Amino acid sequence: MRLPTALRGGVFVVLLVTLPMVGLQHWFLNLLVFVLMYATMSSAWNLVGGFAGYPSLGHAGFFGIGAYTIALIFKGHVLTSGYEPFLLLPLVGLVGALIGWPIALVSMRTRADVFAIVTITFLFVVQTLAFNLHGLTGGSQGASLPIAPFPAATFELPFYYVMAALLVLTMGLTFATMRSKVGLSLVSIRADEDKARGVGVRTTGVKVLAFSVSVGITAMVGAVWAYYQSFIYPQFAIDPLVTIAIVLMTFLGGRGTLWGPVLGAVILESGQQLLTYQLGAVQLYLIVYAFLFLVIILLLPRGILPTIEDRLRMRRRRRRTDASAARPGDRTPQNQSDSAPLLGGGAS
């Protein structure tokens, strides 16, 4: 597994870097920026929702926090190179992580249900605060950022590259997580949390870490988006539709995988951007996304990549059985049979 992933990663990075150089139209570059945006957010969500099995419904809130943070920092500023907001991204990420830390501590101690409850409530609270704290956020009038002084011909490029960098960073973190004991712990939590706790896994610590990193990244994405838009409104900066989009994308591609969220984002975000002109109304997106989500849960619950992986594994198993069937008496998983559970033990 080692070389192929590194190779795949390398090819991907090269692709990302060279793609804009072929001279793409503005609308396509814009599409790519949004695809990268959602790919990054889905990958970040995947750390908590996919690996740990804790579905956060409030990530859109951190997106908004990132957006408003950068707006606040640069309120009334005059930009010189235009790269200042990008340089301050790590700070925004830190702000997101610092806010996420106590939220995680409070909500991740008991069970995933409570966690979902707190995150969805948090989302609503952040949105309410964005509307109410006029002094900080401009309320429903919105907040503005200085317009990026990039040449109009290549306006999208810096945003594209920054988003691409964030995506590569997030995927790198995901990869590192999967290869380390953090990932091992997270999967054990998702598999059977009570058992994991029972064998001494430091469940709360690992979960809180994953959440903080996840929302820190999401906040950074929000900041880049805010700079890209130059003007943000609370209902778009903190939008439940964003939450369901990233959840849907992660589910579609496959939770707990490296490439799944990216695949999901590519499919859905390109689809959404391309259909924007046809559909128009936001309410329709709500219905489409919700409906798509329900269909995926019912028909393809594991997502695209894990389903493919399962099929491949089944085929490998069948080949193994056929090979060993030629040598009778060998112990393979299929040959070992156990009697049916007797009464299942009964209630004691």
Partner 1 sequence: MSDLLCVHDLTKIFGGVRAVDGASLSVKEGTITALIGPNGSGKTTLFNIVTGYLKADGGVVEFDGRDVTGSHPGKLYRQGLSRTFQQARIFPQLTVLENLVVAGGYGWRQLFTSRVGRKDRERAAALLEEFRLTDISDLLASELSYGQRKLLEFAAVLMSNPRLVLLDEPTAGVNPVLIETMERHIRERNASGITFLIVEHDMTFVMRLCDPVIVLDAGKPIFAGEPAAAQNNPLVLDAYLGS
Partner 2 sequence: MHALIQGVILGILTGGVYALMASGQTLIFGIMKVVNLAQGAMVIMAAYLAYELFTRFGVDPFLAIPLTTVLMFGFGVLVELIFLRPLRRDDKSELSLLVTFAVALLIEGTLSVTWGTTYRSINATYANSSWTLWGYQITVVRIWAFVLSLGALGILFWILNRTRFGRAVRATVQNPESARLLGVEAQWVSALGFGLGAATAAAAGSVYGLLYPFYPGSHYDLISRLLSIVVLGGLGSVGGAVIAAVIVSTSSAIVAATISPAWSEMTFFVILILVLLIRPQGLFGNVDRGAI
Positions that interact with partner 1 (CB under 8 A): 178-185, 187-188, 190-192, 194-202, 205-206, 317, 331, 333, 336-342, 344-348
Site track for partner 2 across 185-204, x = CB under 8 A: --------xxx-xx------
- How many angstroms separate the CA atoms of 255 and 266, rounded? 15
Q: Cβ 335 to partner 1, closest distance in Å?
A: 9
With a CB cutoff of 8 Å and minimum separation 6, the contacts of 92 are 66, 69, 70, 219, 220, 222, 223
187 binds, among partner 2, partner 1, none (CB under 5 to 8 A by kind): partner 1
Q: Which DSSP category does 120 fall into? A: H
The residue within the footprint of partner 2, chosen from 48, 57, 99, 305 (CB under 8 A), is 57
Is there a contact between 285 and 241 (Cβ–Cβ < 8 Å)?
A: yes
321 interacts with partner 2 by CB under 8 A: no
CA distances from 236 to 176, 185, 194 (A): 32, 35, 38
Is there a contact between 212 and 97 (Cβ–Cβ < 8 Å)?
A: yes
Is there a contact between 220 and 92 (Cβ–Cβ < 8 Å)?
A: yes
42 or 185: whose CB is closer to partner 1?
A: 185
Is there a contact between 118 and 56 (Cβ–Cβ < 8 Å)?
A: no
55 interacts with partner 2 by CB under 8 A: yes
294 binds, among partner 1, partner 2, none (CB under 5 to 8 A by kind): partner 2
Residue with tokens 């299942």: 344
Q: Cβ 119 to partner 2, closest distance in Å?
A: 11
Number of chain positions touching partner 2 (CB under 8 A) = 48
186 binds, among partner 1, partner 2, none (CB under 5 to 8 A by kind): none
Is there a contact between 305 and 257 (Cβ–Cβ < 8 Å)?
A: yes
Positions in the binding site for partner 2 (CB under 8 A): 53-55, 57, 106-107, 109-114, 116-118, 120-125, 127-128, 132, 193-195, 197-198, 240, 244, 247, 251, 281, 283-287, 289-291, 293-294, 297-298, 301, 347
